[in-house]
Amino acid sequence: MNPLELVRARAGTPFTVRFDGREIEALPGRTVAAVLWSAGVTAWRTTRDGGRPRGVFCGIGVCFDCLVTVDGRPNQRACLVPAEPGADIRTQEGTGHDE
């Protein structure tokens, strides 16, 4: 028996978010990082120097490797930001600001 069955947990109604223009299904209570991971997306930021791909590293908001742009707001930590219905999530390049 899995833990969800033990506590009789039921997932809420799925909703969609957009990631770089692509619709992705999300479940209530998940972070942006969890939604992206569950869709097979493992990198959503590039480094300022060299443009190397990054995604979740620490998963607790300490390292800043998972920065993403959400609804036009750059530098959001995907591991901490809850996914919201209709959110527009974008890969963040460099600082996330127009240079």
**pLDDT tens string for the chain (99 positions)?**
777 678 877 778 999 999 999 999 999 999 999 999 999 999 999 888 888 899 999 988 998 999 999 999 999 999 999 999 999 999 998 777 665
- Look at residue 33 and tell me if it is in a domain: yes
Q: Cβ neighbours of residue 62 under 8 Å, at least 6 residues apart?
A: none
Determine the 3-state secondary structure of 51 from DSSP. coil
Quote the pLDDT of residue 5.
79
Give the DSSP H/E element, type plus range, for residue 6. Answer: helix 3-6
Residue 5 belongs to a domain:
no
Cα→Cα distances 29→13, 16, 41, 83, 87, Å: 11, 13, 18, 7, 14
Q: Is residue 22 part of a domain?
A: yes
CATH of the domain at 85: 3.10.20.440
Measured distance CA(56)–CA(79) in Å, rounded: 7
- Count of structural domains, the chain: 1
Q: Which domain holds residue 37?
A: 14-93
